[in-house]
Amino acid sequence: MVSTRPGERVTMEHVAARAGVSRALVSIVFRGVAGASEATRERVLAAARELDYRPDTRASRLGSSRTRTLGVAFSVGHAFHGDLLESLYTHADGAGYELVLSGVTPSRSEEAAVETLLAERCEGIVLLGSSQGAGRIESLAARVPVVSVLRPVPGGGVGVVRTDDAAGLRLSVEHLRGLGHRRIALLDGGRTAGAAERRRGYRTAMRRSPALTEMVLPGGVSELEGADAARSFLALGARGRPTAVAAFNDRCAIGFVDVVRQAGLRVPRDVSVVGFDDITEAGYPHVSLTTVHQDAERLGSETVRTLADRLDRGPAGPASPPPVVVEPVVVEPSLVVRASTAPPASRGASS
């Protein structure tokens, strides 16, 4: 007889005893596989409910050959990573996987985060906006399937799911050109993931039309760098300034707009600004930033699909798997037009 004194942990054994069946049957019921009659199934679930039993995930993962978990290394407090996680949770669930999160903070490196995911024996690993060197990511990918989200890794050994950054900036530039702008500056993102691609997209779009004048303002990832860039923009003087700015991301754009407005200029009358990402804030009425929308939902679903395809296919057994080359998945961005862009004011005209 199995006792169930309060305070003692309740296991499958207890549920089995209470329902009058074997442990194995309880396992069958909780895994939701065939092999139990409807009546028994309900009797087991009732017993479990009465005992407030829930299966121990540590034990079930240990017992089974598959852990069916995907590890995610993400930056805590990063708004867009939050959007991605939401999507990852949904689609992992749909594909029958669980997510194990590992946070990256200023004092907890991405390497450390990945280390705990490996120790949990996650079957696949998702890196959100990784800042590790390509070499490190590749050697990780040699051990376990990896998808790098937002951050391209060349070579094909690493799964990549990202937005078409270059296309995004082309959208920005074309929108501004369509409004009549000629002097369009890039508010650059420096060395951040995706920044090089966006720079390339900007250049390509600008060179398509000989009437356009290129100009790059050093920027960065946050409002802070956007604000700094605004100060150099202002220092150019009214005649030297571009009439429009295509920013590396929304936060940077928002910082830029803030400072420019504080200096007495008006957006979009005096300068048009386009962001990138479409973070929640960009849609607030008082911000109303025209921006390039990154599809977090889609990025998440493609990430899970890539990993699940690979994991569910191969037996993943001792037979050395063929050197898999994964095609990068590129998600098309779209332009969301709001109130931060307008045709350029004719020089000298006011109001």
Partner DNA sequence: AGATGTGACTAGAGCGCTCTAGTAGTGAGA
Partner DNA sequence: TCTCACTACTAGAGCGCTCTAGTCACATCT
Interface residues toward DNA, by CB under 7 A: 9, 11-13, 21-25, 27-28, 30-31, 34-40, 53, 55-56, 59-60, 62-66
Per-residue binder mask for its own copies (CB under 8 A), 72-91, x = binder? ---xxxxxxxxx-xx--xx-
Distances (CA, A) of 258 to 176, 280, 293: 20, 17, 21
Residue type, 129: G
Residue 132 C-beta: closest distance to DNA, Å: 25
User: Alpha-carbon distance 24 to 35, whole Å?
Assistant: 10
Instruction: Residue 217: name the closest of 226, 207, 209 by CA.
Output: 226
182 scored as a contact of its own copies (CB under 8 A): no
Task: Determine the Cα angle at 24 with ends 20 and 27, to 5°.
Answer: 100
- Residues 277-306 binding its own copies (CB under 8 A) are 281, 284-287
The listed partner (its own copies, DNA, none) that binds 318, CB under 5 to 8 Å by sort, is its own copies
User: Alpha-carbon distance 245 to 275, whole Å?
Assistant: 9
Residue 66 C-beta: closest distance to DNA, Å: 6
106 scored as a contact of its own copies (CB under 8 A): yes
User: Alpha-carbon distance 341 to 181, whole Å?
Assistant: 10
52 scored as a contact of its own copies (CB under 8 A): yes
**DSSP character string of 252-296:** HHHHHHHHHHHTT--TTTT-EEEEEE--GGGGSTTT--EEEEP-H
Q: What's the longest Cα–Cα distance across the chain?
A: 92
The listed partner (DNA, its own copies, none) that binds 259, CB under 5 to 8 Å by sort, is its own copies
Distances (CA, A) of 346 to 177, 181, 238, 292: 15, 10, 12, 26
Instruction: Residue 170: name the closest of 251, 246, 271, 252 by CA.
Output: 246
Task: Kindly tell me which of 210 and 285 has the beta carbon lying closer to its own copies.
Answer: 285
336 scored as a contact of its own copies (CB under 8 A): no
Residue 318 C-beta: closest distance to its own copies, Å: 4
- Please report which helix (H) or strand (E) contains residue 167, including its range: helix 165-179
Task: Kindly tell me which of 36 and 147 has the beta carbon lying closer to DNA.
Answer: 36
Residue 196 C-beta: closest distance to its own copies, Å: 25
Choose one: 38-46, 167-175, 187-195, 318-326; the region binding its own copies (CB under 8 A).
318-326
Applying CB under 8 A, which of residues 31, 115, 154, 208 lies at the interface with its own copies? 115
Choose one: 105-113, 152-160, 172-180, 234-242; the region binding its own copies (CB under 8 A).
105-113
Task: Kindly tell me which of 53 and 202 has the beta carbon lying closer to its own copies.
Answer: 53
**Backbone CA torsion sign across 137, 134, 199, 245:** positive
Residue 266 C-beta: closest distance to its own copies, Å: 9
Place of tokens 């679903």: 301
Residue 100 C-beta: closest distance to its own copies, Å: 8
Half-sphere exposure of 135 toward its Cβ, with a 13 Å CA cutoff?
A: 0
Applying CB under 8 A, which of residues 68, 203, 261, 269 lies at the interface with its own copies? 261
258 scored as a contact of its own copies (CB under 8 A): yes
Place of tokens 């009358």: 269
Q: Which residues bind its own copies (CB under 8 A)?
A: 5-8, 52, 54-59, 61-62, 67, 75-83, 85-86, 89-90, 98-99, 101-103, 105-108, 115-116, 118-121, 143, 222-224, 227, 230, 255, 258-259, 261-262, 281, 284-287, 317-321
